[in-house]
Amino acid sequence: MVSEVITKIRSTSPGEQVFLDVQPRGNREAMKKVVITPKPLSYTDANSPPSIGVMLSPNLLRVENLKAKSLPDAAALASSAVYDLTTDTARSIYGAIGMLGKMIVGGGSSVGGSLQLSGPIGVIKMGSEVVRTNDLTAVAMFAAAISVNLAVVNSLPIPALDGGQLVFVLGEAVTGRKLDQRKQEEINALALLVLLLVTFSTTVGDLSK
């Protein structure tokens, strides 16, 4: 829910208003409707993302360690955790792709600056911070998150990725004839160039941070 609000604010155009329902703490009935116009975080930076001037405070209530009672129970808990992680990852990636499409059509700012994506440098930085905690559980979860992210991205129907190759195979199965190899290689090369540009943009964003 919080990520959806942030995405909505980040995707607003200059002068566009955002309508929020604000609920005071401890009073669910006193709901107020607030109209806010996001403004750039920095007026000197043309690529500065829109903001409403509010910083989220930590809302972690507790950390609960689950222990499996049996091997089937462990498999069920692990499957549930992987499902939740995969679902959240897929939702975030598809949301980022949607924002990227809007930026390309509307001529928006760089990918790394507006979408808050992390490239290789950002991932290494986050990984080093997790390792520094000396928490083996956190390290294992970070490694799992990286693996799930790679799996979800690789399954996208984008040429040059496994998901894109599957689309080509399904296309051949439906049409009953083999696709032109040269055109397929050209499509893969173009998709690979776009992926490299996105990686370069996120790397620039990581360095600017």
- CA–chain centroid gap for 2, Å, is 13
Tens-digit pLDDT profile for the chain (209 aa)? 566 777 778 788 888 888 888 777 666 667 788 888 888 866 666 667 788 877 665 555 566 677 888 899 989 988 988 888 888 888 877 777 776 666 555 554 444 444 556 778 888 888 888 888 888 878 888 888 888 888 888 888 888 888 888 888 888 888 888 878 888 888 888 888 888 887 887 787 777 76
**Polymer length in residues for the chain:** 209
Contacts of 30 (CB under 8 A, 6+ apart): 23, 24
* Tokens 């009935």 found at: 29
pTM above 0.75, yes or no: no
Amino acid at site 155: S
User: Across-strand partners of 33?
Assistant: 21
Residue 115, burial from CB neighbour count under 10 angstroms (0-12, 13-18, 19+): buried
